[in-house]
Copies of this chain bind each other. A is one copy, B any other.
């Protein structure tokens, strides 16, 4: 593990609590307009469109579009089920920016600051650059660079995204560790030759819904990012 020089991070679910943040932001936009919804169900419905939206790009059916664009398209796809019709463009835009206002899980920022002493740090997320920048400003994430889908021009778990991140830092895959709360992300990174770290986020999709332990072999695992950092000696 002493050869690891950079740590790459999944963001949605791993570093930030998208579900309660999107629920809160949707409520703050829509409640003043008289809408009263199950806000957690609203967040879940939006997230449910996430993989199918990216699959259009991964499969080559549409050109690469940044995640903000997919989030907006996905939003318009599911909101009729919540009885929301003919929302003005500015409301749809403001809702889409909910994903720029997600709060970190409480262990994250302090752990990243410790890891920064000995590792290069970057998000390798499917979120676009501006979204990652806004989350970093909001939560004090000390990134060295913003890597991930927009830099690679494709979406995880396509190998190009992990490999483009390694290349941006002039590192071999074995010198990079992907950290995520999702075993599928780690399996894809490991297949590219990266080291892997798992963080448990048992409540990602609501109480008792997330991974409590990795479902694939990993190099290190922690109950949270603080424990993972400690296991790496930080």
Chain A interface (Cβ < 8 Å from any Cβ of B) = 68, 120, 128-130, 132-133, 136-137, 143-147, 150-151, 168-170
Choose one: B68, B120, B146, B169; the contact of A145 (CB below 8 Å): B146
Shortest beta-carbon distance from A17 to chain B in Å: 22
Q: Quick one: closest B residue to A120, CB to CB?
A: B133
Q: Is the CB of B170 within 8 A of A145?
A: no
Q: Is the CB of B133 within 8 A of A137?
A: no
Q: Is the CB of B120 within 8 A of A169?
A: no
Q: Which residues of B contact A133 (CB under 8 A)?
A: 120, 144-145, 169
Q: Which residues of B contact A129 (CB under 8 A)?
A: 145, 147, 168-169
Shortest beta-carbon distance from A179 to chain B in Å: 18
Q: Compute how far the CA of A195 lies from the CA of B42 in the bound complex, rounded to whole angstroms.
A: 41
Shortest beta-carbon distance from A7 to chain B in Å: 13
Known: A133-B169, A145-B146, A146-B146. 16 other contacts (CB 8 A): A68-B170, A120-B133, A128-B168, A129-B147, A129-B168, A129-B169, A130-B169, A130-B170, A132-B145, A133-B145, A136-B144, A137-B144, A144-B146, A145-B145, A150-B168, A151-B151
Q: Compute how far the CA of A159 lies from the CA of B128 in the bound complex, rounded to whole angstroms.
A: 21
Q: Compute how far the CA of A97 lies from the CA of B136 in the bound complex, rounded to whole angstroms.
A: 29
Choose one: B130, B137, B143, B168; the contact of A168 (CB below 8 Å): B130
Q: Which residues of B contact A151 (CB under 8 A)?
A: 151
Shortest beta-carbon distance from A157 to chain B in Å: 22
Q: Which residues of B contact A168 (CB under 8 A)?
A: 128-130, 150
